[in-house]
Chains A and B, each alone.
Chain A
């Protein structure tokens, strides 16, 4: 049976820990993160012909 290289296992564990940390953020911070994701994904999706709108958050600057 294949075993995972300890360094790779450490990286996977760190990724999982980061996901849990993100999951624990307050909801408004998560919404701001979703808008960042939208900004990253929108150009790719638009290039594929999908019409998407990046949200404008008044509270983002706060």
Chain B
């Protein structure tokens, strides 16, 4: 994990990606009890000069050059299956921009804020997202004022009310 995060930092320093942050179940685990997952979900923003913003090809090529192979929808980075998810909407752009800086065993990294992870669950809307929202509400220290702003900006207040009667 430590080495995989170092590789992500190297990709960012080298300009292959502009910015990254951990999301998904591992991002959630940062704030709540450990959740079972087999993938490390990483949201990425590409440099503007990359042309097609949603293309993962330059990233995959850079990883291949370092000897990391694709496995299904992931790339195996230092034995960790990493799923790279390009940001595709305003909520994810904001989540990346405002992600929390932290250290993992002295390695700097970034994790999407709990409020954004919760909003992403609301937007995605699967059964497992509903369960995750429940866990966030029960265990995470949420900034309710900040969350209200996120929900309002991204039109998720109705879904929030629907999911949290």
Contacts and interface: CB of A to CB of B under 8 A. Distances in A.
Max count, chain A CB within 10 A of own CB: residue among B3, B72, B104, B105: B105
A61 to B, nearest CB: 12
B33 A22 contact: yes
Chain B contact-residue range equals: 20 to 34
Contacts of A31: 1, 26, 29, 34, 104
Most B CB within 10 A of own CB, among A19, A31, A52, A58: A31
B35 A19 contact: no
Interface in A1-35: 16, 19-20, 22-23, 25, 27-28, 30-31, 33-34
Given A53-B81, A56-B79, A59-B105, A30 B34 contact: yes
A52 B38 contact: yes
Contacts of A30: 29-30, 33-34
Contacts of B2: 57-59
A27 B35 contact: no
Interface in A27-51: 27-28, 30-31, 33-34, 37-38, 41, 51
A27 B29 CA distance: 8
Interface in B28-69: 29-38
B81 A34 contact: no
A27 B30 contact: yes
A31 B38 CA distance: 11
B127 interface: no
A23 B137 CA distance: 12
A1 to B, nearest CB: 19
Interface string B53-93: 00000000000000000011000101111000000000000
B22 to A, nearest CB: 10
Interface of B: 1-3, 26, 29-38, 71-72, 76, 78-81, 102, 104-105, 138-140
Given A27-B102, A30-B33, 4 more contacts: A16-B138, A19-B139, A57-B1, A59-B105
Interface of A: 16, 19-20, 22-23, 25, 27-28, 30-31, 33-34, 37-38, 41, 51-59, 62
